[in-house]
Structure 1
Amino acid sequence: MSKSIIFVLGFVLSGIFISAQTLDKQAPQGFDVEKKEIPHGKIDTINYESKTVGTQRKALVYTPPVFKKGNKYPVLYLLHGIGGDEKEWFKNGTPQIILDNLYAQGKLTPMIVVLPNGRAMKDDRATGNIMAKDKVKAFATFEKDLLNDLIPFIEKKYPVKKDRENRAIAGLSMGGGQTLNFGLGNIDKFAWVGGFSSAPNTKEPQKLLPNPAKAKELKLLWISCGDQDGLMPFSKRTSDYLTENKIPHIFYIEPGGHDFKVWKNDLFLFSQLLFKPIDQEEISNLLKSE
């Protein structure tokens, strides 16, 4: 083996080691506080034509502080919960602040983040009975809207990389269930998948992954939940199934319940792992350590 190859391998492996060892298990104080002295990304509202729903739909798009139209970027699709819409993360999870702060520390691979409305129906507002059958069904319908309408729109309007290795999906609660359903059901479309406190809409493991070995193609499979969250069984049964089938993944049990304190921490950790070489086992062991 040539010295140059050895050097490159050493560099890559050291990067994996450093990323695992420097990842905080819990976001530090002030991680979600806006700092005026650092560069800031931009949040835009976009309207896209949804053939799936038969109407124009809205989404928010975050472009990073380092954004330049001449460059191409990977994309994270970040999904909300059953009581929210495309603004839920923005209002309650402040992803733009969390990510700006991480960029200022040099901890993120530059990426575009899309915050869609995961309730794919003509009246997609979170009003009235949010548990109504048609509204719950609309969260499943969003899979077609995402794949056939939103992703093509983003890839036409923004300078993004269009291969699966540069496409991630993550979400909280109902959006966490969507993430596991859509991400594991479309491994040819997504290489990075993160379910935060996934809700009962998550398919049973055998239906989620009838061919478990397929999940080995993922760059990252992240499952997390608060230790006081009543929805823990849905995350645990998925992780147990993956473990039984020897599928690499991270199962992070963190302090907290079913709320944005947990989900903001998830975004803080998950975003740092995206679109870079990582060792899931190394990171999993780190997160489990005392």
Structure 2
Amino acid sequence: MNAIDLFAGLGGWSTGARMAGIHILWAANHWPEAVKWHAKNHPDTAHACQDLHQANWEQVPSHDILLASPCCQGHSRARGKDNGNPKHDASRSTAWAVVSAAEFHRPPFVIVENVPEFMQWTLYPAWASAMNALGYQLAPHVIDCADLGVPQNRIRLFLVCTRSRVPLHLKFPSKNHQPASSFIDFSAGNWSPILRPTRAAATLARVANGRREYGERFVMPYYKSGSGLTGRSLNRPIGTITTIDRWAVVDGERMRMLTADECLAAQSFPADIARPKSHRLTVHLAGNAVPPLAASNILKALTRAA
């Protein structure tokens, strides 16, 4: 099978497709830096750097599967008080590019990845109706990527759209949860003493709580959101990897943030992936990506059911 990847970013969908034996013919993103690194990792794929609202779908090759991860920030609960921000309205509208592409090419399969709140979008009924009008049946799958073998609890919507008489609900094999210890390298990173004058009292409290719960080694959100006030055991998946530094590793009297390579590994990217030298840019690209292992298992399930 052949596929295209819209809003491709660093290439989580594309990498997962390759793992599943599916060839990515064409990939697009509006951000030059994302296109640059996607091209380095997928040199046999044709690339476009453009606003997909303006895409000429005649220039896109025919395909069996349309993969898309339209911007999720406008839907996510993490957007906080800015949910009325026009920027978020613009980000929500990126989903209409999927309808436009599907209208022109009518591929047998379309899979859209987003946060579950995508289905609470005011215009989601209109969006779904547009896909129905094109002949697609929609089957929403809300999945914790840890259940697909990713060492991270990351709950996402995978909306499987098929040109079929009834919606296609995929079945996935049961995968053991992979622990955070599988990718954390205690010999890497920039460690600093936990007890230093600039450390916030709230951070020290979370460290103390984590020690009581898990011992000397664990992970915790450096800021207060996520995993309560105690952090997480290294024996369970880490929490959601975001586009900014979020997770700290505690080891005795020292601590540090996850390295960029650990963020990529938590997302299940292969160790040899080409990435920017910049820590900040790599973390941003990683946090926006679909975990390749989740993508691979979803596409394998799709090909089994097709």
Tell me the TM-score normalized by structure 1.
0.31
Larger radius of gyration: 2
Q: Return the TM-score normalized by structure 2.
A: 0.30
